Structure 1
Amino acid sequence: MSRTWSQRPGRRHFQPRPRGPWRKLLDYALAVILLGLLALVAARLDRVATKQESGAAIVNDGDTITLGAERIRLRGIDAPEYMQTCNKDGADYACGKLARQALVKLIGGQPVSCQGWQRDRYGRMLGDCTAGGVDLNAALVKAGWAIAFGDFEQEEAAARGARAGVWAGSFQEPRDWRRAHDGASEPQHGALASVGDWLREMLRFW
């Protein structure tokens, strides 16, 4: 004979067992680990936080300036080194010094503002810089006094088409010139490199 719903036994209610000392210790350990992970993430985010610098600039060369105590390498571009020469109409000329002069002219004595978070192998901040509303990184490449170095490919194409700056003759790429003269090697630092650097900083243990 089948039971009706009213005749079915009611559900049993069980009281949860009190947590033992080992379970409590495990809970405390998990809480400590979680707090440690949160602190680690906060430290990593601090490493990739964008830094702002502004003020009167000292122009060191075609792609490096100093603002206060911060030495800044313009991100995504590469200008001829200060002592580098290029060739035009069969004659060498001081393209490195002209690149520096081009940056001085673009700044025009105005305050410079830079932002960035990456560092190059020399500890310089890789910055995107402006002066008087002019994007210095892009303007240098478009004027032909710096080449694309991970970014600003469209500006480089325009300069090459107009035979502006170093594109009016022949030149050795600055990174090749550095490698030949002091053995220095520098990776490009454009948009894709920024993503890679961000991931490395987030995953770096120390």
Structure 2
Amino acid sequence: MALTFRSLIVLALLVLPLPSLAATVEGRARAVDGDTLEVGGQKVRLFGVDAPELDQTCERGGRRWACGRAAREELAGIVGRKRLVCAVQDVDRYGRAVAVCEAGGEDIGALMVRRGMAVAYLRYSSRYANAETAARAEGLGLWAAEWVVPEAYRQAGDAQAVPDADCPIKGNVGSGGKRIYHMPGQADYAGTRIDPRKGEQWFCSESEARAAGFRRAAR
């Protein structure tokens, strides 16, 4: 039986190799949050670790601690201006490469967990379980505080997801039209939800919020 032109096209598509996931992502990095990097312009989620959400707070020494921001700062300090090589393991639902990243032969995820600023994401891998055990035993980072594991924090839905990690400031319009902005780590930040229909919005800096007529929350 003679093959039609359409049949030939279908057969060609069947035998052509499917696009494959890039084996590695390389370059200098910027910390987006405690477990996410931007490497060479591409978002990369560290494999096997989970850090506090950027807007998450913990309690340390009887005081509120912006542990999510602290985790990002820790990751930023680790990567510095080093060149990273990230071995891609998967792609998550947000389109980010999920990868094991190294700089100078050091595993970035292992360092974050060993310093107590992230936990082993055991639902996906036990790769960093020993590092977590050691950090916990020494009371490092999160293990010296009262906190909720990041996954539980997300599932609880106590805080509205930050649409852009670089713009986490919440501009809230209260009763009487009062315009107040809340910084991550402030007392009412987690419970504040942004509704654009009310004129509420996210800001990337305090100066941007003030220019829009918002003032900083008192606590």
Is the shorter-chain TM-score for this pair beyond 0.5, marking a shared fold? yes
> Which structure shows the higher strand fraction?
2
Given the two structures, how large is their TM-score scaled by the length of structure 1?
Answer: 0.65
Partner Cα distance (1:35, 1:56) in 2: 39
Q: CA deviation at 1:69?
A: 2.7
In the alignment, structure 1 residue 73 sits paired with structure 2 residue 49: no
Aligned-partner SS, 1:92: strand
**What runs of 5+ residues in structure 2 fail to find an aligned partner?**
163-219
Q: Which residue of 1 aligns with 2:149?
A: 173
Partner Cα distance (2:141, 2:41) in 1: 31
> Which structure shows the higher helix fraction?
1
Alpha carbons 2:47, 2:89 under 8 Å: kept = no
Given the two structures, how large is their TM-score scaled by the length of structure 2?
Answer: 0.61
Q: Which residue of 2 aligns with 1:109?
A: 81
Matches within 5 A, 1:1-206: 39=16, 42-43=17-18, 46-47=19-20, 49-149=21-121, 150-151=124-125, 152-179=128-155, 180=157, 181-182=159-160
Aligned-partner SS, 1:114: strand
RMSD: 2.5
Partner Cα distance (2:61, 2:41) in 1: 41
| Segments ≥4 residues shifted beyond 2 Å | 32-39, 181-184
Q: For residues 36 and 129 of structure 1, do their structure 2 counterparts lie closer, same or farther at Cα, with a shift above 3 Å needed?
A: same
Q: Which residue identity is paired with 2:72?
A: R
**What runs of 5+ residues in structure 1 fail to find an aligned partner?**
1-24, 185-206
Structure 1 vs Structure 2: percent identity of aligned residues?
Answer: 35
1:50-87 alpha-carbon deviations (Å, 9 max, x no partner):
52111111111111111123100101100011111111
Aligned-partner SS, 1:56: strand
How many pairs does the alignment contain? Answer: 153
Structure number with larger C-alpha Rg: 1
Q: Which has the higher contact order (CA 8 A, sep 6+)?
A: 1
Aligned-partner SS, 2:142: helix
Partner Cα distance (2:161, 2:67) in 1: 20
